[in-house]
Amino acid sequence: MAATRAMTIASNSTSCLLAKNPVLLKHRPFIQSLSLKNLKVASSSSKRSYTCRAIYNPEVLVKEEGQPETLDYRVFFVDKYGKKVSPWHDIPLQLGDGVFNFIVEIPKESSAKMEVATDEAHTPIKQDTKKGKLRYYPYNIHWNYGLLPQTWEDPSFANSEVEGAFGDNDPVDVVEIGESRRKIGEILRVKPLAALAMIDEGELDWKIVAISLDDPKASLVNDVNDVEIFFPGTLTAIRDWFRDYKIPDGKPANKFGLGNKAANKDYALKVITETKESWNKLVKRSIPSGDLSLV
């Protein structure tokens, strides 16, 4: 008999937070203002879940199906009725006062390349594959990595500020620099600090540098210059990590626009606003969705 496994999820008032959003309400009936109060873990060899108890009903359940590091592994988000909801489409982006929701796909100091499955119904988190094999980074990523919900990098839009590169057809990526190692599927409140314009095989793949509001240094960092003061060398380390991580596989290094430097907070907010507008067009079907799931 397979051994029962358990997950330990850090409990704090800034995790698993959702909020009301007019655009979302048009797209989905499911939305309430939620925050993490208690976490209950249900575990078995094939399915595990933990609950984010809401200030207002309904509850949100983050449910694992299958075994980690297998082709069948998925992390779904479901409401209290057991209905699956999309972490990309159904979780609101903005919480007000410059605070945004961030969904963890890859915990810091891990190497499994986890991502939201944008082409699957309800866009669960899964491990990426190549030629039928699970993908891993050649070395651990040193920050929590994930996405901003309700954003989309439009592959039909050429960004004149970044060498005319087209969007990579994914939600916007976030590199969260706080000290805590998070869990796959956690939802954190973050504030953006900077933006890196990575160009991956000709596609623009924004990296928003952010920090969770519950990090001990969160109150000290509010813009790109603060990152250099309180997290010295971190912006360079992030840029170099994403520049070089494909080299061990025989691919060329990635490039960066905007002078190869991190842009400031205002620019990061501009990127978020623009990609939010692109997502709005996508879910309204003003732009062809191709293989993307809008469910």
Q: Are 43 and 4 in contact (CB under 8 A)?
A: yes
81 is catalytic: no
Give strand pairing partners of 75. 64, 125
Count the neighbouring beta carbons within 10 Å of the beta carbon of residue 37.
Answer: 14
CB-based burial of residue 139 (10 Å sphere; 0-12 exposed, 13-18 middle, 19+ buried)? exposed
pLDDT at 54 over 50: no
Catalytic residue among 137, 145, 245, 267: 137
Lowest-confidence pick of 60-69, 98-107, 215-224: 60-69
According to the model, what pLDDT value does residue 59 have? 59
State pLDDT tens for residues 19-47.
Answer: 434 333 333 333 333 333 333 333 344 45
Report the distance separating Cα 62 and Cα 84, nearest Å: 10
Residue 273 Rama label (left phi>0; alpha psi -120 to 50; beta): alpha
**Spatial distance between the Cα atoms of 65 and 49, rounded to a whole number of angstroms:** 9
Place 79 in a pLDDT band, splitting at 50, 70 and 90: confident
Which residues are 146's β-sheet partners?
Answer: 104, 174
Tokens at residue 12, please?
A: 């704090």
Question: pTM higher than 0.85, yes or no?
Answer: no
Give the span between the Cα atoms of 113 and 140, in whole angstroms.
Answer: 10
Average confidence score pLDDT of the chain: 85
Smallest CA-to-CA distance from 223 within 238, 209, 206, 237 is with: 209
Question: At a CB cut-off of 8 Å and minimum separation 6, what does 243 contact?
Answer: 198, 253, 254, 255, 256
